[in-house]
Each structure stands twice: as C-alpha cells, then as structure tokens.
C-alpha cells in the first residue's frame, strides 16, 4: 500500500529583524570604564571598539550601547573617542580609535616640548635680567679692598695734607678724619697760647675771669685729640676702620663713600 502525504511549509519573515540578546561586558572592562582616571577610560573605549569589530552580536551590541552612553556622559576627550568608535565603518572602529590615540599622544608631546622651550627661554631672560646690573656696573674709582697701610700713614700731619687729594676714597676719608683731629689739636694749642702772659700792651688773659675756662678747654681738647689719634692708629693697625660717631660720618660724606666701609 503506497501511502503518500502532502504537507505545506510556511516560511514567515519578521519585520523587526533578528532578535539579539545582550551579553554583559567583561567585569574587568566595566572596572576600566569606571576608573576615575581619564586615560584609563580611554583604554576602555579602545577595548569597546575591538568588541564592536570582532565580538559576537550580543557582546558587540552591548559595546555599542556603552559607547553611546560614554559619548553622552563622559569627559569631552573620552566622549569624542567614543563617538569616533561608534561612527566608524564596520570593522574599522578599533583602527580609527588607535589612530586618534596616536595623534593625541603626538600633539601632547609637541605641547610639552613647546612649554619646556618657552620655560627655558623665560628662565634665560630672567637670568640675563638678573646679571645685567652687575655686568653693566661702571668701573669703580676706588680700590675694592680698603688700603689700611696708606690710611695709617695719613695720620702723620704732613702726609694727611697731601693724601686728602688721593683718588682712593678710603684713604681720602681717613685723611679728612686725621685733619679734623689735628684741628682739635690746633684749637687746644690756641687756648693754651691765650693763657700765657706776654709783653704786649693788652693785659694777659690770666688776669681775666675766663682764664680757668681756657685752661680747662686746652687740657680737654689736647687729651681728646690725643685719644682719638691713638684710637685711629690702633684700629688701622688691626686692619679695621676707625669709627668715630660724628667725625667718621662727616669724613665719609666729604670723601663721597659709605659711612662705614667694610673690609
């Protein structure tokens, strides 16, 4: 008995297309995309681009959705990289992302070199500005080191008169100071001369009431001048500038140098 059976085959086509089930992204990739460091997240976008190109439909769809979220929410540079991967032609997402990362690295390196060059130029200008006052300083008209031996000699009366015109300001200051001390001697000797009786028609000062005052002025002036002279000689012998409060200030002002010259 020949049994024949006829059946009809109905082929249906869905207008929605094939249904793709999402697959979760790898755990390490999710951790990378959630990193607080921007460059680490950029590496995560590069891995998503690899999944878009080479992974199965479910994982590739999850990668595209992650790229869309990053393009809307992340840092502008990371978002731009995600848009490049999402808009790339099929199979070219990873290549375009790597190319963009390489170009960024070159631009950043160029920017660092330019910043270093500008910093070096600014530092060189600062050093030049700092050094310029020293290099452009006019030559000094006096010896850089105090001439103590010549200054010691000026405390001789005859030497002081000639050394007052020397070009060495340190020696000139001591010569002026020595002349001031000898002027105190001269005033004291004048007071002494007024107290000595003489044979002129004018009555001697000894008969006047200020005779004692003149004698005291003579003694005080002579002692003061002697003490100052010895003090200056001892100080210069010790390689130190003799500093007398008012006298040294006046001598330094007249000589045209600092009040207290240093060794």
The tens digit of pLDDT for each residue in 178-189 reads: 888 888 888 888
Residue that is last in its domain, among 111, 136, 167: 111
Distance, in Å, from the CA atom of 216 to the CA atom of 44, rounded to the nearest integer, reads: 104
In a domain, 31, yes or no: yes
Q: Are 44 and 78 in contact (CB under 8 A)?
A: no
User: Are residues 94 and 157 located together in one domain of the fold?
Assistant: no
CA separation (Å) from 49 to 4, 88, 90, 91?
A: 56, 9, 10, 9
**Taking the C-alpha atoms of 69, 74, 76 and 81 in order, what is their torsion angle to the nearest 10 degrees?**
-50
Q: Are 91 and 53 in contact (CB under 8 A)?
A: yes
In a domain, 262, yes or no: no
Distance, in Å, from the CA atom of 224 to the CA atom of 174, rounded to the nearest integer, reads: 18
Residue that is last in its domain, among 64, 82, 111: 111
Number of domains in the chain: 2
In a domain, 77, yes or no: yes
In a domain, 219, yes or no: yes
In a domain, 125, yes or no: no
In a domain, 139, yes or no: no
| Token pair of 216 as six digits | 């005291």
User: Are residues 249 and 166 located together in one domain of the fold?
Assistant: yes
pLDDT for 209 equals 65
pTM: 0.42
Residue that is last in its domain, among 111, 131, 159: 111
Number of Cβ within a 10 Å radius of residue 87: 11
Q: Are 215 and 195 in contact (CB under 8 A)?
A: yes
User: Are residues 83 and 161 located together in one domain of the fold?
Assistant: no
User: Are residues 164 and 233 located together in one domain of the fold?
Assistant: yes
| Residues 30-52: tens digit of each pLDDT | 888 888 998 899 898 999 999 88
User: Are residues 158 and 81 located together in one domain of the fold?
Assistant: no
Look at 122 and 218; give whichever has higher pLDDT. 122
Nearest to 82 by CA among 121, 129, 124, 43: 43
User: Are residues 107 and 164 located together in one domain of the fold?
Assistant: no
The range of the structural domain enclosing residue 78 comes to 27-111
| Token pair of 213 as six digits | 């005052």
Rg (CA), the chain: 51
pLDDT for 21 equals 79
| Residues 113-146: tens digit of each pLDDT | 999 999 999 999 988 888 765 444 454 444 456 7
User: Are residues 102 and 154 located together in one domain of the fold?
Assistant: no
Distance, in Å, from the CA atom of 160 to the CA atom of 151, rounded to the nearest integer, reads: 9
Residues ≥6 apart with Cβ < 8 Å to 239: 148, 263
User: Are residues 213 and 166 located together in one domain of the fold?
Assistant: yes
User: Are residues 75 and 169 located together in one domain of the fold?
Assistant: no
Whether the predicted pLDDT of 87 surpasses 80? yes
Distance, in Å, from the CA atom of 78 to the CA atom of 57, rounded to the nearest integer, reads: 24
Whether the predicted pLDDT of 263 surpasses 50? no
Number of Cβ within a 10 Å radius of residue 191: 20
User: Are residues 179 and 100 located together in one domain of the fold?
Assistant: no
CA separation (Å) from 183 to 203, 256, 263?
A: 27, 21, 28
User: Are residues 159 and 241 located together in one domain of the fold?
Assistant: yes
In a domain, 4, yes or no: no
In a domain, 64, yes or no: yes
What mean pLDDT, rounded, does the chain reach?
77
Buried b (16+ CB within 10 A) or exposed e, 149-159: ebbbbbbeeee
User: Are residues 176 and 224 located together in one domain of the fold?
Assistant: yes
């Amino acid at each position: 008995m020949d049994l024949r059976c006829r059946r009809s085959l109905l082929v249906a086509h869905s207008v929605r297309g094939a249904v793709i089930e999402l697959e979760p992204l790898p755990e390490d990739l999710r951790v990378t995309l959630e990193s607080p460091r921007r460059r680490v997240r950029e590496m995560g976008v590069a891995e998503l681009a690899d999944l878009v190109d080479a992974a199965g439909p479910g994982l590739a769809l999850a990668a595209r959705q992650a790229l869309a979220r990053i393009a809307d929410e992340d840092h502008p540079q990371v978002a731009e990289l995600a848009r490049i991967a999402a808009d790339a032609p099929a199979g070219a997402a990873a290549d375009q992302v790597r190319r963009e990362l390489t170009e960024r690295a070159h631009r950043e390196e160029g920017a660092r070199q330019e910043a270093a060059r500008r910093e070096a130029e600014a530092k060189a200008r600062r050093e030049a500005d700092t050094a310029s006052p020293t290099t452009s300083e006019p030559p000094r008209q006096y010896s850089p080191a105090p001439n103590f031996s010549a200054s010691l000699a000026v405390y001789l009366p005859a030497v002081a008169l000639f050394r007052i015109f020397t070009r060495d300001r340190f020696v000139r200051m001591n010569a002026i100071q020595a002349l001031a001390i000898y002027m105190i001697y001269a005033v004291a000797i004048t007071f002494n001369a007024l107290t000595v009786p003489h044979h002129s028609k004018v009555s001697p000062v000894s008969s006047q009431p200020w005779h004692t005052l003149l004698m005291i002025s003579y003694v005080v002036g002579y002692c003061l001048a002697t003490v100052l002279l010895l003090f200056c000689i001892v100080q210069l012998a010790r390689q130190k500038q003799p500093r007398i409060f008012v006298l040294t200030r006046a001598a330094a002002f007249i000589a045209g140098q600092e009040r207290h010259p240093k060794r």
